[in-house]
Structure 1
Amino acid sequence: MMRNNMNSTVLWDTEVDRSLLRRTFHSKTISRKDYTSVQIKKVKTKKKWETKPGIFLHKRAPQNDIEKLLVNRRTRRYPSNREINIQDISEILQFAAGITDEKNKYFSYPSPGALYPCTLFLSINLAGFKEKIYRYNPYKHQLEEYADASIRSADSIIIDTNLKKFPVKIFFTSDYQLLEEKYGELSYRLLNQEIGHIAQNISLYSEFVGLNTTCIGGFYEEEFKRYIPEYDLLYAMVVG
């Protein structure tokens, strides 16, 4: 295929679709209500580990606040007794997923090339919030009314019925903006690393303020895309 620009003529365009591997893998690993190609098997609960000669390291009790926070962090599949409000949500997003350096627009977590390809969407079942799916805008620290969706509709994205009791659902998504242009086939791996950093931040901050969290791999992306088709859903969390 001939391609022309102002400076030269290219006789054949051999540029590879840099999103092909990502799109293929992502589409083959999603869960659907009627069918899934993902088979989850029962396995032993203890990982096999063949011990090798090495240096034994000393363990001690946690002494400072950050050490105690790391020790106490747990997945809790039920909401806490603590009431959550809009200020809690604001602070979780600000400190765990927001901009912490206004001058350079750096966020509170590592990101490939400082591109920040992950976008957070939230469904919030609390007084004062509309039945919408909100998009978090970190540049203005704002929850944007992005899509109309009832609480029940948003809950249908989550597979585990018990987790629907949490008042706040957070969806980790991406439209791969800028990322694939720079990193090509490496993008999907880098994006998932970034999402893991954000999720851990949210888990730790929630633990610090007395809220429970569960990170979720079991969700129906097709349900999410009924409302937000332009983003891929890669991960989810509940907070409460």
Structure 2
Amino acid sequence: MTSKITTQTETQSTSHLQLEQELALLYHNNSNLTPSTIMDFLENMAESQSIGHPRHYPACPAIALNPGRLWKWRKRLIQSLPVVLAQRKSSQNFLVNMPLQKLSQIILMSLQAGKMRNELLRQRPYPSAGGLYGVNVFVLATAVKELEQGIYNVNPDRQCLEQLYLFGSNLECQQWLKTSIVGEPVTKQAPVYIFFCANLNHVKQKYGERAYRFILLEAGHIAQNISLASTSLGISHLPLGGFCEKMIEEKIGDPDMIALYTMALG
């Protein structure tokens, strides 16, 4: 009979994994609602003055989205939804270059503001806790026709992209990608990467510690919209969980934004 010798590295790795599991469970348990806390939670919700206020960057240069005959594509998606659901799959069969019109169609089908919810806010095609819309969608364009390589905030209300950062060269963009996103999608470069980020403090004013749960759910709802819209247009997409949050947050440059999720598109 042979016995396995446990190395120090394996012990440290196991301890680290256990700590991560404990931290996740600690947050889950401490953000649970119980009979003794639910009334405080409801009272805080009622007293909160938070309203839907998606983060925009009006001082930044704006690039208009150009979806063409968007109504036609939206109608096609609605009529073929059962087929789109059946065909949806993660794929790395990316285009070399992505037309801005295709990107515009995907973005506006997934995010475009609709009728007014109140005097300040338009309804969007995905649920958001309290209608706060705390999640922003940022686009990293590496190879989009009519767009410079850089990072843009999506502004569905104005139907535009707000230019936050431009890379000085393709080499700078490639090096940043390799240190920010983990795995094969970097070597099989996509023309677009989507970053789902949130203003946690804005949502926390109303929902306390449960806010983190809600922004994760909202990011997932938006990502599913993008996934289905991409599928309906024959565009590959790949959800990504391996990324360096701080690298993305620093490039966006908004201290209130935390990175939650990413997706390669094209």
1:99, CA displacement in angstroms?
0.9
Q: Cα distance 1:186–1:103, how it changes in 2: closer, same or farther (>3 A)?
A: closer
Among 129, 132, 139, the alignment partner of 1:122 is 139
Deviations 1:119-161 (A, max 9, x none): 1111112232123211111221110111233532552321113
Deviations 1:61-101 (A, max 9, x none): xxx721111111001123158x6311111111111022122
Q: Which has the higher helix share?
A: 2
1:168, CA displacement in angstroms?
0.6
Q: Identity of aligned pairs, percent?
A: 30
Q: Cα distance 1:205–1:75, how it changes in 2: closer, same or farther (>3 A)?
A: same
Q: Which residue of 1 aligns with 2:65?
A: none
Q: Distance in 1 between matches of 2:88 and 2:157?
A: 29
Matched, 1:151 2:173: yes
Q: Cα distance 1:38–1:130, how it changes in 2: closer, same or farther (>3 A)?
A: farther
Query: Structure 1 counterpart of 2:155, which letter?
Result: N
Contact 1:174–1:233 (Cα < 8 Å) also in 2: yes
Q: Which residue of 2 aligns with 1:225?
A: 249
Query: Structure 2 counterpart of 1:219, which letter?
Result: F
Q: Distance in 1 between matches of 2:157 and 2:107?
A: 12
Query: Structure 2 counterpart of 1:84, which letter?
Result: M
Matched, 1:185 2:200: no
Structure 1 residue matching 2:223: 3-state secondary structure:
helix
Instruction: Point out where structure 2 has 5 or more consecutive residues left out of the alignment.
Output: 1-15, 21-78
Normalised to the residue count of structure 1, the TM-score between the two structures is 0.68
Among 162, 165, 190, the alignment partner of 2:185 is 162
Deviations 1:7-31 (A, max 9, x none): xxxxxxxxxxxxxxxxxxxxxxxxx
Contact 1:173–1:233 (Cα < 8 Å) also in 2: yes
1:1-240 pair list within 5 angstroms: 65-79=80-94, 84-102=98-116, 104=118, 105-124=122-141, 125-149=143-167, 150-156=172-178, 157-163=180-186, 165-229=189-253, 230=255, 231-240=257-266
Deviations 1:24-44 (A, max 9, x none): xxxxxxxxxxxxx5699xxxx
Query: Structure 2 counterpart of 1:97, which letter?
Result: L
Contact 2:239–2:264 (Cα < 8 Å) also in 1: yes
Contact 2:100–2:145 (Cα < 8 Å) also in 1: no
Contact 1:120–1:171 (Cα < 8 Å) also in 2: yes
